[in-house]
Structure 1
Amino acid sequence: MLPAPDENSPRKAGGGSRLVIVNLLPTALIVLAVLLALNFFGLVATPLLVITLAVLLAAALNPLVLWGHAALHLPRPVAAILTVALLLGVLTLLGTLLVPVLIAQVSSFAVGLPADAYLLGQRLDAWLNEHPTLNALLGESVLDDVSSRATALVAGLIPQAVNLVVSTASNLALGVFGIVILTFTLAQPGPLVQGLLSAVPEARREWVGALAARVIGSLSRWGRGMLLLMLAVGGANALGLWALGVENWLLYGVVAAFGEIVPTVGPIFAALPPILATLADDPGKAVGVALLALAIQQVENYVLVPFVLGGSANLHPVSVTAGVLLFGSVFGLVGAFLTVPFLILIKALYEEVLLARRSLASEADAQAVVEGASPETPPEGQQAG
């Protein structure tokens, strides 16, 4: 028997139950478009990174171009070219001073890596033999699996290094494209902004312009702050490791600087190579390296980040960590690097589109939810009708 129709359900004029047909084609097309977009961004991850870096650098260097245009009365294209030339000159000077030492340390690191991995394994075995309970808990299979994985990792570094050398030409070509994009973005940003605003209905152009200015301002402050933060953290690590007598100190400093690119988790992973390398040779020195990394992280979190970055992003650490996990899972390392720019854009859209139409919840309501209570409800007469 068919179930009796609900008394509250809509009926046709003839008294029968109304048949509702749901068109799932738009939903299917949206899902297909999202999947195609993810696949497309996965294929163009490296060019996307180059373009994003160029745009971020343009946002960070734009105040310098504006100063040259206003204070020195230079045409904007000339000010942009001089700014890019200054940037390339600084990078060339740093490369001339640091690259030879860095190449030597990379070679030393690659040559000594198998021996360091072997010594580290020996020290781990000796330590486990001194703790039989933990040794029995882990079991031989676990130790053998860790050893085999470490050996495979070390062996896999050699072809990866070869691939890195082979891909240097393509990376240089991408770098040239990035410099061209940076130069033209700084020299002629007007047509790009005009094209963006022209794609928006005239009634919404003022709002979109204000939103774009907010996002560009946040990205500009974040980009300049990130460059300074990388320089400070990388330099502090390099100098500290040099003072501790750690080999390949410059290499580890560069790794620490680039570790700042990936928020939250990047500095943690960047601190591991010098700790593990010194642990294989001198455990006492490894403790000093770990304390150095911890001290630099504390100074970074409580002094450098508030002072250098300030409120440029103003993102909760949970949001950043979740963003690194999600974007990194979809786009790999490129997605992890682009987490903060993506979140700045998402936050601006969220605040301008959703929060602008409703009142912001109070801190008291949020604290009540955290403590397991319901937010306070206004009296019946004060509730919105």
Structure 2
Amino acid sequence: MVRILRGLAHKYFSDEEAVILFLLLVAGTFFIIWFGAMLAPAIASLIIAFILQGLVVKLNRLGVPETVSILGVFLLFLGALVGVIFGLLPLIWTQVSRLAGEAPRIIRETQSYLELLPDQYPQLISAEAIDTMYQQVSTEVGQLTQWLVSFSLSSIPDLVALLIYMVLVPILVFFFLKDKEELLGSIARLLPPQRPLMLKIWHEVNLQCANYVRGKALEIVIVGGATYIAFKLLGMPYAALLSLLVGLSVVIPYIGAAVVTIPVAMIALFAFGWGSHFIWVMVVYGIIQALDGNVLVPILFSEVNNLHPVAIIVAVLFFGGIWGLWGVFFAIPLATLLKAVFAAWPVKEVPPPPAGELG
């Protein structure tokens, strides 16, 4: 056992800088686990600034002065934030409330569909299973409706915190953009003066994660916008709500698309019934998903190392279990970061054991 541990230490931690980096990663992970909720505005601001920095760099390459680039990008961010708060969120909330009000009708129609299944497929589905499923659906929808009714009273403290975040986040984003070099210099002074390994890993992580995070942000906007336009043209109800779900679903490859297809199909079915209109909605939705996976993703993520589907599912389960919804949302960027760290980590060959230990 000691020999195995010694071999692992020699292979992965023979570099002193690697040991320091490992301790920093462990300390940073526990710090986020314990203080992540408290520092949520700072973490969100850092991620937003990280996304916007790419646009600042591109403007600098076009000859725009850095101060003008930062100010222009920040004003663009403020405009988008105001548009989301006063334009998109009220529309989404209205559609969610309306959907909750129509929940009883949807439940009744669902029951009528389900009651036909035991007669059509008696070998596969029993009446008892349909009753159990119906009761579960009714309970979940009832709880959702009750939550929506009590939301305005029970969530006043959350709304106050949200208002504070809406003030803090733009301020922090501005200073992260404006004082990036100074902040990075302060962190660098805490690290060893000679750190080629850390610089190599930082370059790899910055390349992979920056391309991934910025690409995903653009993919969300494109897929969500295309879905909204298509659903509005087709007369699909709750187009804004569904397009938001479809846009956010691209954050979790495979799983997100499979999950969000269910509400899209159900609402289309209840709105149009079995017929050509329902088929057209699903065909257009399928085309958007196909174009996203086969055209948009290769263009946006040509420089990013793809993760295996098993790695994606494991990352979603692991980080979702640690941080809940936020863990699910950031599972793929975190997995990409870990893959970049492992790819750049120094590995030394383990020397063969002495001749006397062979056999």
Fold conserved (TM > 0.5)? yes
Instruction: Provide structure 2 residue ranges, at least 5 long, that are not aligned to the other structure.
Output: 1-25, 351-359
Q: Paired residue for 2:309? A: 317
Query: Is contact 2:45–2:173 with CA below 8 Å preserved after alignment?
Result: yes
1:353 aligns with 2:345: yes
Q: CA deviation at 1:196?
A: 3.2
1:293 aligns with 2:293: no
Q: Paired residue for 2:147? A: 160
- Choose the corresponding residue for 1:106, options 87, 92, 96: 96
Any idea what the Cα deviations from partners look like across 1:172-224, whole Å, max 9, x if unmatched? 32233322222111111123322333333233x23212322321232222222
Aligned residue type for 1:106: V
RMSD: 2.9
Query: Is contact 2:45–2:170 with CA below 8 Å preserved after alignment?
Result: yes
Q: Paired residue for 1:224? A: 214
Name the CA distance, whole Å, in 2 between partners of 1:112 and 1:344.
41
- Choose the corresponding residue for 1:145, options 120, 132, 139: 132
Give secondary structure in 2 for the equivalent of 1:335: helix
Query: Is contact 2:70–2:178 with CA below 8 Å preserved after alignment?
Result: yes
Q: CA deviation at 1:119?
A: 0.7
Query: Is contact 2:117–2:125 with CA below 8 Å preserved after alignment?
Result: no
1:215 aligns with 2:205: yes
Aligned length: 317
Name the CA distance, whole Å, in 2 between partners of 1:241 and 1:330.
36
Decide which moves more: 312-321 or 162-171.
Answer: 162-171
Aligned residue type for 1:127: L
Give secondary structure in 1 for the equivalent of 2:108: helix
Change (3 A) 1:67 1:311: closer
- Choose the corresponding residue for 1:65, options 45, 53, 56: 56
Q: Paired residue for 2:10? A: none
Aligned residue type for 1:151: S
Change (3 A) 1:266 1:115: same
- Choose the corresponding residue for 1:337, options 311, 315, 329: 329
Query: Is contact 2:208–2:337 with CA below 8 Å preserved after alignment?
Result: no
- Higher RCO, 1 or 2 (CA under 8 Å, sep at least 6)? 2
Matches within 5 A, 1:88-107: 88-93=78-83, 97-99=87-89, 101-107=91-97
Query: Is contact 1:260–1:266 with CA below 8 Å preserved after alignment?
Result: yes
Q: Paired residue for 2:15? A: none
Aligned residue type for 1:325: L
Q: Paired residue for 1:23? A: none
Change (3 A) 1:351 1:266: same
Q: CA deviation at 1:307?
A: 0.6
Change (3 A) 1:283 1:170: farther
Larger Rg, first or second structure (1 or 2): 1
Q: Paired residue for 1:184? A: 175
Query: Is contact 1:55–1:182 with CA below 8 Å preserved after alignment?
Result: yes
Query: Is contact 2:204–2:341 with CA below 8 Å preserved after alignment?
Result: no
Decide which moves more: 181-190 or 54-63.
Answer: 54-63
1:53 aligns with 2:53: no
Change (3 A) 1:295 1:68: closer
Q: Paired residue for 2:320? A: 328
Dislocated runs of 4+, deviation >6 Å: none
Name the CA distance, whole Å, in 1 between partners of 2:161 and 2:278.
38
Q: CA deviation at 1:318?
A: 2.0
Matches within 5 A, 1:227-266: 227-266=217-256
Name the CA distance, whole Å, in 2 between partners of 1:280 and 1:44.
44
Change (3 A) 1:99 1:350: closer
Q: Paired residue for 1:383? A: none
With normalisation by structure 1, the TM-score equals 0.73
With normalisation by structure 2, the TM-score equals 0.77
Name the CA distance, whole Å, in 1 between partners of 2:349 and 2:343.
10
Aligned residue type for 1:110: A
Name the CA distance, whole Å, in 1 between partners of 2:59 and 2:288.
36
Name the CA distance, whole Å, in 2 between partners of 1:276 and 1:335.
27
Give secondary structure in 2 for the equivalent of 1:312: coil
Identity of aligned residues (%): 23
Name the CA distance, whole Å, in 1 between partners of 2:45 and 2:173.
5
